[in-house]
Structure 1
Amino acid sequence: MSSSFSSPQENILQFGLHEGMKVGDFGAGSGHYARAAAAIVGTSGKVYAIDVQEDVLKHLKLNTYEQHQNIIETVCGDIEKPDGTHLRDATLDAVILANTLFQIENRSGLLAEIQRVLKSGGKLLVVDWAGSYGGMGPAPEKIVSEHEAEDFFINGGFHKVKSFRAGPHHYGIVFTAP
Structure 2
Amino acid sequence: MSEHKCDPKNRKKLNSKQRQEILPPAQVLMDICLGSHTVWADIGCGTGFFTIPLANEVKQVYALDIRAEMLSDLSESLTQLQIHNVKVLQSEENRFPLPDQLIDGILTSLVLHEVDQPIEFFRELNRILQTGGRLVVIEWAKASMEMGPPLDHRLSIQQLDDWALSTGFIKVKSWQWSENFIGIEYCKKS
TM-score interval, normalised by the smaller of the two chains: 0.7 to 0.9
- What secondary structure does 1:144 align onto? coil
Q: 2:142 aligns with which of 98, 108, 131?
A: 131
Give, as a single letter, the amino acid of the residue that structure 1 aligns with 2:70: V
Q: Could you state the TM-score of these two structures normalised by the residue count of structure 1?
A: 0.88
Count of matched residue pairs: 170
- What secondary structure does 1:171 align onto? strand
* % identity of equivalent residues: 24
* 2:81 matched residue in structure 1: 66
* 1:144 matched residue in structure 2: 155
What stretches of structure 1 of length at least 5 have no aligned partner?
none
Deviations 1:20-45, CA, capped at 9 Å, x for gaps: 2111111111211111211111xxx2
Q: How does 1:38-117 map to 2 (within 5 A)?
A: 38-41=55-58, 45-64=59-78, 66-68=81-83, 70-80=84-94, 84-117=95-128
Q: Name which of structure 1's ranges 84-93 and 157-166 shifts more when overlaid on structure 2.
A: 157-166
What stretches of structure 2 of length at least 5 have no aligned partner?
1-18
2:9 paired with 1:11: no
* 1:165 matched residue in structure 2: 176
Residue 121 of structure 1 and its aligned partner are, at CA, apart by: 0.3
Give, as a single letter, the amino acid of the residue that structure 1 aligns with 2:162: D
Residue 46 of structure 1 and its aligned partner are, at CA, apart by: 1.1
- What secondary structure does 1:111 align onto? helix
- What secondary structure does 2:132 align onto? strand
CA distance in 1, matches of 2:21, 2:161: 25
- What secondary structure does 1:40 align onto? coil
Give, as a single letter, the amino acid of the residue that structure 1 aligns with 2:29: I
Deviations 1:126-149, CA, capped at 9 Å, x for gaps: 000003644411121110112221
CA distance in 1, matches of 2:123, 2:183: 21
Residue 175 of structure 1 and its aligned partner are, at CA, apart by: 1.1
Give, as a single letter, the amino acid of the residue that structure 2 aligns with 1:169: N
- What secondary structure does 1:86 align onto? coil
Q: Name which of structure 1's ranges 163-172 and 85-94 shifts more when overlaid on structure 2.
A: 163-172
Deviations 1:25-82, CA, capped at 9 Å, x for gaps: 11111211111211111xxx210110000111000111236242x11111000142xx
Give, as a single letter, the amino acid of the residue that structure 1 aligns with 2:156: S
Displaced runs of 4 or more, over 3 A: 131-135
- What secondary structure does 2:165 align onto? helix
CA distance in 1, matches of 2:143, 2:181: 10
2:39 paired with 1:28: no
